[in-house]
Amino acid sequence: MGAAELGPADRERSWQQLGSEQFDVVVIGGGVTGAGAALDAATRGLRVALVEARDLASGTSSRSSKLFHGGLRYLEQLEFGLVREALRERELMLTRLAPHLVKPVSFLYPLTHRIWERPYTAAGLMLYDTMGGARSVPGQKHLTRAGALRMVPALKRDALIGGIRYFDAQADDARHTMTVARTAAHYGAVVRTSTQVIGMLRESDRVCGVRVRDVETGEETEVQAHAVINCTGVWTDAIQKLSGSRGRFRVRASKGVHIVVPRDRIVSESGMILRTTKSVLFVIPWRNHWIVGTTDTDWNLDLAHPSATKQDIDYILDQVNTVLATPLTKDDIEGVYAGLRPLLSGESDDTSKLSREHAVARVSPGLVAIAGGKYTTYRVMAADAINAAAVDLPGRIAPSITDKVPLVGADGYHALVNQADQLATKHGLHPYRVRHLLDRYGSLVHEVLAEADGKPELLRPVPGAPDYLQIEVVYAASHEGALHLEDVLTRRTRISIEYPHRGVECAEKVAELMAGVLGWNDKTIKREVEVYTARVEAERDSQTQPDDQAADAKRTAAPEARQQMLEPTSK
C-alpha cells in the first residue's frame, strides 16, 4: 500500500516509476471518472498509473452544481435506471464512503399549478425517496403557501401556491475528486498531475502505453501498460485522435454557468429547485453563499477555459428574479464559474435533453474510452471502464470493491466530530474552525494540524480570505498535489468564487506560503501572482462580453500557469 501524499518528493519518485515500471492500466484524465478508475483498479490489485495534463479536477469535475443527486428531471425523462443508480451512489457517499465530504441539503420545490401539480410532483418524489435503498436523508414534506414562505421568506408571495421540501446531498466537487485520487495513491496507484499524454505507444495493432510530457519541465518519457483508459471527458475525441483509430462515440460539450452570491441576499432556510422553460434552475446553499445555476448551451471553443458571457449571467439573474421578492443584481455576484458537461452526441440537438447515461467502448485492442454520465455516478462508470479493460489484462481480475472502500479521511470522522471541542482547545482554535477542517479533511485533520507544529502563525486565517487557515495552503502544496497558485485558489480552496476579489487580494500571501513547500524563489512567486491576476482579469472581462466567441477571445488571451502545455485546447 502506498502513501496518500501527493507532494514534491512523491512527484519526483512517480516520474521515475512511470518511465521504468510495467503497468496493468494507465488512466488518462484526473477528473472524478479518471480518479475513480484509478482507485477501482488499485483496489482490485492492479498496477495502475493516473496521468493528468493540468490539475486534479481542473476541468468539469471542479465546475459542477456540487450535488450528489439522483436528478429529479431525469425521472420526467423516464430514465429510472439512471436515477436509481445515482440515488444508490448518493446513499453510499453519505453513509460509508465519504461522510466527511458529502452532506445532506434540503430543497424547496415551489408549486405553481393547482389540482394536478402537487400529486404529480409528490408521486415523482415518492419514487425519488424510495429508489435509493436505505435512506439517510428525510423524506418529502408538503407545505402550504404560508409554510413554504416561512421556510423561504425571499420568495414573492405570488410565485407559488404551496411547496414540497425534499433532500439531496452536496459536496465540494474538486475536493472530493482530489480525495478520490489520494485514496487511489493510498492503495498504490501512481498519481501524477502536470503530465500530458502526447502520444500512444503501439505494438502492431494494439495500444501498449502512452508517451507523456512533464509540463513543468518539458521532460518526456514512455509509460508501458497492458491497457490505456481514456477518461478525459470533453477531451475524449482529442485523445482518441492520438491513437490513430476511430472512436465508437462522439462527445459534445455543453456549457453550464453558475453564479455565487452572499447568503444574506436570499433569505431562506432551504435551497430551491425552479422550473425554467428550458430546464431547471437550482439555488443551492454553499457555506456563507448561494450557488445559482445552471445554463445549458452548446460549446465549440476552448475546452480548458470555457467562458461565461454577459448573456449567461443575465439569463440566470432573469430566471431567479422571477420568484425573488428582492431581485439579485450584478453587484451581488461574488463569483462566476463555467464548466463543460461531456454529453454523448447524436441523441438530440437540445443539449438539456441529451442523455446523462455513460458509454464505455473498447476502441481498439489495449484502448478503452468512457464518456457521458454524471458526477454522482462516477464510481459505477469507473468500475465499468476497468471491466471493459479486463480483456487486455493478463489473468483474471477481481471484481470491483469500491462500494466498500471509504475515501481517505472517512474512517473515524464521526468520532472526531464529537471531539471537535477538545480538538479546538488543544490547538487553540474556535470549534467552528475545527468543524470546517473536519468537513474538508475528515480524520486527516491531525495530519493537517501537525504541519503547524512549531509554526502557530499557520493557524491564522488567510489574509483576504478568512474562511480558510494558512495551514490549508501549506497542506495543499505538501500533501494534495497543488503545483500552482490557481490550483490552491480555485480547487483546493474555493477562494476564487467565494470572495468578490476572486483571490487577487490574497494571491501574494498564498504564493509565499506555497513557496516554502515547493521551493519557489521571488521570481517564481512574482510570475505565479501575475499569471493568476491575469486569469482573473480575463475572466471578469469575458463575463462582460455579448457572446461565446467574444468571451472566449478574452479568456484565452490570459497566460497558462503550466507553460509547457502542448495540447490543442479546442476540438
| Nearest-angstrom CA–CA distance, 103 and 361 | 33
**Average pLDDT score, the chain:** 93
13 Cα distance to chain centroid: 27
pLDDT value of position 368: 95
**Does residue 355 surpass a pLDDT of 60?**
no
Which pLDDT tens digit goes with each residue over 38-52? 999 999 999 999 999
Q: What's the confidence (pLDDT) of residue 571?
A: 35
Place of cell 420568484: 323
Burial of 157 (0-12, 13-18, 19+ CB in 10 A): exposed
Three-state secondary structure call for residue 328: coil
What is the predicted pLDDT for the residue at 131? 81
Q: How far are the Cα atoms of 9, 15, 223, 301, 401 from residue 20, in angstroms, in the given order?
A: 17, 9, 8, 37, 28
Rounded to an integer, the average pLDDT of 310-329 is 97
Confidence of residue 354 (pLDDT cuts 50, 70, 90): very low
pLDDT of residue 336: 98
Supply the DSSP symbol for 560.
P
What are the pLDDT digits (tens) for 230-273? 999 999 988 988 888 777 778 899 999 999 999 999 999 999 99
pLDDT at residue 447 is higher than 70: yes
**Given a cut of 80, is residue 525 above it in pLDDT?**
yes
Q: Tell me the average pLDDT across 84-105.
A: 95
What's residue 133's pLDDT? Answer: 65
pLDDT digits (tens, 9 = 90+) for 374-417: 899 999 999 999 999 999 999 899 999 999 999 999 999 999 99
Exposed e or buried b for every residue in 183-213, given b needs 16+ CB within 10 A? bbbbbbbbbbbbbbbeebbbeeeebbbbebb
> What mean pLDDT is predicted for residues 461-470?
98
Task: Give the C-alpha separation, 229 to 367, whole Å.
Answer: 6
DSSP readout, 25-80? Answer: EEEE--SHHHHHHHHHHHHTT--EEEE-SS-TT-SGGGSS--EE---HHHHHTT-H
The CA-CA-CA angle for residues 540, 542, 548, to 5°, reads 155
pTM: 0.96
pLDDT, position 100: 98
348: pLDDT strictly greater than 50? no
Residues 201-215 have a mean pLDDT of 95
Q: Check pLDDT > 90 for residue 220.
A: yes
Answer whether residue 78 shows pLDDT above 80. no
Whether 25 has a pLDDT exceeding 80, the answer reads: yes
The percent of residues in the chain predicted with pLDDT above 90, rounded, is 82
**pLDDT band at residue 134 under the 50/70/90 scheme:** low
**pLDDT per residue over 162-173, tens digit each?**
999 999 999 999
Indicate if the pLDDT at residue 570 is higher than 50.
Answer: no
Mean pLDDT of all residues in 27-45: 98
Q: In this predicted structure, what is the pLDDT of residue 350?
A: 43
